[in-house]
Amino acid sequence: MTKPPKRPLTLRDVSEASGVSEMTVSRVLRNKGDVSEATRQRVQDAAKQLGYVPNKIAGALASQRVNLVAVIIPSLGNMVFPEVLSGISESLEGTDLQPVVGVTDYLPEKEEKVLFEMLSWRPSGVIIAGLEHSDASRAMLAQAGCPVVEIMDVDGDPVDSCVGISHRRAGRKMAEAIIEAGYKRIGFMGTKMPLDHRARKRFEGFTRTLAKAGIEIADQEFYLGGSALAKGREMTAAMMARTPNLDFLYYSNDMIGAGGLLWLLEQGIDVPGQIGLAGFNGVELLDGLPRQLATMDACRREVGQKAAQIIAARNRDPSYPPHEIVELSPTLALGQTLVRR
């Protein structure tokens, strides 16, 4: 090891230390072009010796290529998005592409800012959650000059490519399952809507399907922030007090569903005998609950994988067609809380 340098090392330093031209040093460090084994060794030794770290900024500017994929998601606290991320990382593993994450907190203005920020690094691709964006954001995406994949949702009009599930259909399928099982007095709990378009679409698909069967939501409640598990408890307690004759509770996510389930069991309420339950997402957490909560898997990992594959493929092969739309099918898991009655 050498002593801390005042000035960051450059290719030139390695060149001088190894007695090889900058160009050849560059070739060695990128494994590009033919270099004799001897010089390769010399260069690598010199680079390691000095502790040289290449300057990607200069490299990117010169080569007009940046191996970054911008990934823009609403939140990291949700568990859903980390799973999407790991799908993305997985698919990008073999390539030289690297994901860079930006978080919007479900705020369109912040999405705009984050997107602008990321595009100004000229990434090789953009993966962005949702199909709803501000006009400015859509314009930026359209002009980005790189593949764009909108994920998690297919109910809408993508700028370019798109990978996800239909949340309307997911809501519908759940409603159908509930109707078919014979439940009639249904309560709904979820996040406040305007922020979360996918939850809203599920709710729409759900209520419409119920309506067609002549059923109306008997009670509903929406929350914002806080511990989802605790919120699930509270909302369930409140709703059961307000509307005691409910026979089913549909939660817009598994976490509040789990909270509700725990509360109901504690009250000695028979689940699913007296009341049925369902959530949404298929989070791993559920495996540890006293009852297996009915849920619907949102294919989070697969969404991430496929989206990243599209980006990678289009970077590899510019003739790969844009505007690809991939709709994945969420699977319904009835668990132990949605049974025929």
Partner DNA sequence: TTGAAAGCGCTAACAT
Partner DNA sequence: ATGTTAGCGCTTTCAA
Q: Does 30 bind DNA (CB under 7 A)?
A: yes
According to DSSP, the residues that pair with 327 across neighbouring strands are 164
- Of 83-102, which residues contact a second copy (CB under 8 A)? 83, 85-86, 89, 98, 100-101
Query: Which of DNA, a second copy, none has residue 101 at its interface (CB below 5 to 8 Å by kind)?
Result: a second copy
First and final CA of the chain: distance in angstroms? 72
Among 248, 258, 81, residue whose Cα is nearest residue 174: 248
**Smallest gap from residue 6 Cβ to DNA (A):** 12
**Smallest gap from residue 209 Cβ to DNA (A):** 50
Query: Which of a second copy, DNA, none has residue 39 at its interface (CB below 5 to 8 Å by kind)?
Result: DNA
Name the one range near a second copy by CB under 8 A: 71-79, 192-200, 212-220, 270-278.
71-79
Kindly tell me which residue out of 64, 226, 318, 323 binds DNA, with binding defined by CB under 7 A: 64
**Smallest gap from residue 55 Cβ to a second copy (A):** 6
**Smallest gap from residue 148 Cβ to DNA (A):** 20
124/315 Cα distance (integer angstroms): 7
User: Looking at beta carbons only, is 10 or 220 nearer to DNA?
Assistant: 10
Among 109, 257, 250, 82, residue whose Cα is nearest residue 177: 250
Nearby residues of 246 by Cβ (< 8 Å), 6 or more positions away: 185, 186, 187, 218, 219, 239, 240, 275
Query: Which of DNA, a second copy, none has residue 32 at its interface (CB below 5 to 8 Å by kind)?
Result: DNA
Q: How many CB atoms lie within 10 A of CB 283?
A: 22
298/335 Cα distance (integer angstroms): 16
- Of 224-243, which residues contact a second copy (CB under 8 A)? 226-233
Structure tokens at 63: 């080569």
Q: How many CB atoms lie within 10 A of CB 226?
A: 9
285/335 Cα distance (integer angstroms): 14
Site residues (vs a second copy, CB under 8 A): 1, 4-5, 8, 51, 53-58, 60-61, 66, 76-77, 79, 82-83, 85-86, 89, 98, 100-101, 103, 116-117, 119-122, 139-140, 142-143, 145, 226-233, 258-259, 262, 266, 284-290
